[in-house]
Amino acid sequence: MPVTLQDVADAAGFSVPTVSRVLSHSTYPVSETARLRIEETAKQLGYTPNLAARSLRTERTGVVGVLVDDIVSPFAPLLVRGIQDVLTHSDYTCLIINSDWNPDLETSAIHGLLQRPVDGIIFAEYSHLAHNERLEQSGKPHVFAHRLFSRPIANSVVPDDFGGARLAVQHLVGLGHSAIGYINGIAGWHSAEQRKQGFLYEMAAQGLAVRSEWIEQSMDWEIEGGYAAMQRMLALPEPPTALFAANDLIALGAIYAVQDAGLRVPQDVAIVGYDNRDLARFVRPRLTTVEMPVYEMGQAAAELLLQQIHGAAPSEESRILGRLYVRESTGAPVEARTQEDRLTATDERRRLLNRNPES
Amino acid sequence: MPVTLQDVADAAGFSVPTVSRVLSHSTYPVSETARLRIEETAKQLGYTPNLAARSLRTERTGVVGVLVDDIVSPFAPLLVRGIQDVLTHSDYTCLIINSDWNPDLETSAIHGLLQRPVDGIIFAEYSHLAHNERLEQSGKPHVFAHRLFSRPIANSVVPDDFGGARLAVQHLVGLGHSAIGYINGIAGWHSAEQRKQGFLYEMAAQGLAVRSEWIEQSMDWEIEGGYAAMQRMLALPEPPTALFAANDLIALGAIYAVQDAGLRVPQDVAIVGYDNRDLARFVRPRLTTVEMPVYEMGQAAAELLLQQIHGAAPSEESRILGRLYVRESTGAPVEARTQEDRLTATDERRRLLNRNPES
DNA sequence: ATGAAAGCGCTAACAC
DNA sequence: GTGTTAGCGCTTTCAT
């Protein structure tokens, strides 16, 4: 049987409200003697508050709903982790729901979250419903992370794909390249367009010509599409000496195409990807890439939500720029892991595991 | 202002309890007229139950706590997804907490979960505390998934590493190999030992000799360790023609060592890994590997927990065997993705995304 | 500074 | 089959 306030009150010789005032960290004035006695006995009895009862009174639950496409998808875990790390600091926990890229599921998930005792909702999905009636009626604080809209939306956090693409070009130019090609992702996708625009913008800013045949279109976001697109580019009389690809898998496909043509990466073609997925550190050559800053986006979204919960006015869309990770595919020495690779918080955490082989 | 049972009762002309009986899907008898009227008005008013209030009465919350090492670690997301898919069917959601491989954090997470309104806890961590006083006192249902203990433990789900290793050997033998080497993971790790035992057992069962110099020890679970170990093996006067590695990264390191020695995988050395991490599908050659069946383990753990919640007796430890995924590193044709690769539920879900470029 | 009283929204026990 | 009554554990008036 769990210990209640009543139990503590009886044992300490005070009334329930007084005990509550002490144990709920209320700002209400309580005598020092009482406070000490009560804290002492609460500890001794092993009191833990019943959060359901507290929620019923306060209409706060300390729980935030997080809607992801699929926790298994490449970006979701790190995004969630960013959210958690911020929320934990404020004593919130989060309920994670998958919408599986399915609008119907998403709608029912929203309704579920609205009735469930959550103080706010974070939409950590790539696409879908920009608008939901019940959600807006409910007045529940909510923010959007990673969701791409055609135009800026309040309380949302998005990646700066335009700026990221510029970083990639700057890096290649810094290495001395001027003949730089680009393989885009699926046409019409917001991130594909943004990255392409960033590429074109920075090429112009660097005073470099962009030949139309150096811009290719991949049929997908996968290795296969990148492979085929790079094959076409290599068949040109004068292929570029460097390539920026719209994501890591396309870049990897391009690398394979270069290798199959009997050429080498980075010596014959230097290649930069986008996203900094895990595989970038495992393939050969290790892939230079622009990070999709999901962790930071999660943090930003959580902070935004906390502000909303505390009654702040809706804020502007915030864009977050990822960093460039320089690795072998653009000529970093084989032995050198980038410093960032070493210092990832997650890597550090995992490393700890090596000291704890078995319980 | 949310709609309460009282509101519905007033509007429908019934008492609160009657309305409750209808709307909480109680088995209590209610007249058909009343039921219809009440359901109608509830819908019209947009009634949604206050779960905090309900929990306070029923001492059930519909929430399960899931403790993971780190949601960002390789196996956690799929394990969590397995848990979610089962729990969702029974109208449970789950609260996910990271322990960061830190026993102190884990302890405080457990305490947090115990006071929080959760109906049960799933420990989805690799290692740590087998035992926690407060947890056992609390009597809260809990099960262990993926946690490796030196001996079988009730209500736990573990991977069948021994059996998985046998699958790897059987596959290589089936391809005609008899000179088969093994590179183990860090000595002393439960999974390393199990996989080694499975390897030795199956080699013996197949009547094959195991030369001691064909068994190597990697210094870590990473590419670097696998690379170094394979280099040593390749320096032997008579290296094996096939290799089983204790995990995918070690296998990948071994592949790189073979390639750097001017040999080819799978023609000169066929290689099988373990875990079936994402990278197995992206590297060249694609990696044949034994799956770590985390999704199924998550499902099993969730089912176990539901049984516990419904008062079932503690059950035996259950071992789950992963499947073998045959890919290029043991000779599958380059163009063939294995059928399983195509049919992964997650892949299917992700594929849907391609039809939903932007909202 | 402390206690008495009230009530959050819901369900379970008991009457009729 | 329905309504009345009570109470889950907590916080918040409002007295004192």
Higher pLDDT, B100 or B161: B161
The pLDDT of residue A132 is: 67
Alpha-carbon gap, residue A107 to A135, rounded angstroms: 9
pLDDT tens column, B301-319: 999 999 999 888 888 899 9
Residue B173 or B51, more confident = B173
* pLDDT the model gives residue B358: 32
Coil, helix or strand for A146? coil
Q: Strand A270-275 to strand A318-320: parallel, antiparallel, or no bridges (unpaired)?
A: unpaired
Number of neighbours of residue A49 by Cβ within 10 angstroms: 17
Chain B residues 15-54, Cβ below 7 A from strand D: 15-18, 21, 28-31, 33-34
Rounded Cα distance between B180 and A305, Å, is 56
A36 touches strand C (CB under 7 A): no
Is the separation of the CB atoms in A263 and A273 below 8 Å? no
Q: Are the beta carbons of A127 and B350 separated by less than 8 Å?
A: no
- Considering only the beta carbons, identify the residue of A48, A61, A356 that sits closest to B52: A61
CA gap A230, A259 in Å, rounded: 11
Give me Rg for the CA atoms of chain A.
26
* Chain B CB contacts of A190 below 8 Å: 357-358
Using the Cβ of A108 and the Cβ atoms of chain B, whether some distance falls under 8 Å is answered with: no
Beta-sheet strand order (sheet of A63-68): A318-320, A156-159, A142-145, A120-124, A63-68, A93-98, B93-98, B63-68, B120-124, B142-145, B156-159, B318-320
Element (H, E) at A104: helix A103-115
Among residues B172, B324, B334, B193, which one has the least CA distance to residue B244?
A: B172
Quickly give A61 CA vs D10 C1' distance in Å.
Answer: 13
Q: Where are the alpha helices (DSSP H) in chain B?
A: 5-12, 16-23, 32-45, 51-58, 76-89, 103-115, 133-138, 161-174, 190-205, 223-234, 248-260, 294-309, 339-343, 345-353
Tokens coding A57: 């009174």
Distance (Å, whole) CA B49 – CA B2: 9
**Sheet strand arrangement including A215-217:** A215-217, A180-184, A242-245, A270-275, A288-291, A324-325
- Closest partner residue to B283 among A51, A77, A283, by Cβ? A283
- The answer, for B43 touching chain A at a CB cutoff of 8 Å, is no
Return d(Cα B77, Cα B74) in angstroms, integer: 7
Position A284 scores a pLDDT of: 95
Q: Could you state, in chain order, the average pLDDT of each consecutive group of 10 residues for chain A (359 residues)? A: 87 90 86 89 89 88 91 95 93 89 82 79 75 71 82 89 98 96 94 96 97 96 97 97 98 98 96 97 96 96 93 89 96 60 50 39
Cβ separation B100–A352 shorter than 8 A: yes
**In B 57-76, which Cβ lie closer than 7 Å to strand D?**
57
Angstrom distance, A52 CA to D7 C1': 15
Distance measured from the CA of protein residue B57 to the C1' of nucleotide D3, in angstroms: 20
Enter the tokens of residue A265: 């990466």
Give exposure, A255-291, as e/b (b: 16+ Cβ within 10 Å): bbbbbeeeeebbeebbbbbbbbbbbbbbbbbbbbbbb
Inter-residue contact A275 to A292 (CB < 8 Å): yes
- How many Å apart are CA B208 and CA B192, to the nearest integer? 21
Neighbours of B122 (CB within 10 A): 30
Structural tokens at position B289 = 């590997």
Q: What is the mean pLDDT of residues B85-110?
A: 87
Residue A221 has which token pair?
């976001």
Cβ distance A279 to B284 less than 8 Å, yes or no, reads no
Instruction: Report how far residue B218's alpha carbon sits from residue B188's, in angstroms, rounded to the nearest whole number.
Output: 12
- In chain A, residues with a C-beta closer than 8 Å to the C-beta of B186 are 354, 357
Nearest nt by C1' to A15 Cα: C3
Contacts 24+ apart (CB under 8 A), A203-207: A203/A169, A205/A166, A206/A169, A206/A170, A206/A173
- Asked if pLDDT for residue B142 goes beyond 80, the answer is yes
Report DSSP state, residue B273: E
Q: Specify the pLDDT at position B314.
A: 86
Residue B195 CA to residue B200 CA, distance in Å, equals 9
Residue B355 has pLDDT above 50, yes or no: no
The pTM score is 0.90
What secondary structure letter does DSSP report for B314? P
- For residues B285-304, give the mean pLDDT: 96
Nearest to B50 by CA among B111, B12, B8, B96: B8
Contact B117 A49 (CB under 8 A): no
pLDDT at A140: 84
Residue B279's pLDDT band (boundaries 50, 70, 90)? Answer: very high
| Cβ(B189)–Cβ(A358) below 8 Å | yes
Nearest nucleotide from residue A38 CA, by C1' atom:
C2
Whether residue B136 has pLDDT greater than 80: no
Q: Residue B15 CA to nucleotide C16 C1', Å?
A: 15
User: A99: exposed, middle or buried (C-beta count within 10 Å: 0-12, 13-18, 19+)?
Assistant: buried
**3-class DSSP state of B35:** helix
Instruction: Average the pLDDT over B45-54 and give the result.
Output: 88
Q: What's the CA gap between A253 and A232, in Å, rounded?
A: 12
Q: What are phi and psi of A222, to 5 degrees?
A: -110, 175
Q: Say what the pLDDT of residue A2 is.
A: 79
Burial class (CB in 10 A: 0-12, 13-18, 19+), B53: middle
Enter the tokens of residue A267: 């010596």
Does residue A292 contact residue A194 with C-beta atoms inside 8 Å?
Answer: no
Partner-chain contact A70 B352, CB within 8 Å: no
Amino acid, res. A123? F
Beta bridge partners of A95: A65, B95
* Strand blocks (E) in A47-134: 63-68, 93-98, 120-124
Q: Say how far B94 CA is from D4 C1', in Å.
A: 38
Separation between Cα atoms, residue B74 and residue B90, nearest integer Å: 27
The pLDDT score that the predictor gives to residue A338 is 52
Selection from A35, A293, A271, A61 nearest residue A168 by Cα: A271
CB-nearest to A359 from B62, B129, B359 is B129
Kindly state whether B357 is in contact with chain A, defined as any CB-CB distance less than 8 angstroms.
yes
Lowest mean pLDDT among A22-26, A110-114, B163-167, B250-254: A110-114
For A357, which of B48, B93, B188 is closest by C-beta distance?
B188
Whether the CB of A4 is less than 7 Å away from nucleic strand D comes out as yes
Using the Cβ of A129 and the Cβ atoms of chain B, whether some distance falls under 8 Å is answered with yes
A334 touching B, CB under 8 A? no
Is the CB of residue A48 less than 8 Å from the CB of residue B137? no
pLDDT for A350 equals 47
**Of A137, A140, A115, B116, whose CA–CA distance to A123 is shortest?**
A140
Pairing label, strands A93-98, A63-68: parallel
Helix (H, G, I), strand (E, B) or coil at A31: coil
Any atom of strand D under 7 A from CB of A306?
no
Q: How far is the alpha carbon of B79 from chain A, nearest alpha carbon, in Å?
A: 9
Please name the member of A63, A352, A358 whose beta carbon is closest to the beta carbon of B190. A358
Mean pLDDT of chain B: 88
More reliable by pLDDT, B128 or B203: B203
- AA identity, residue A161: D
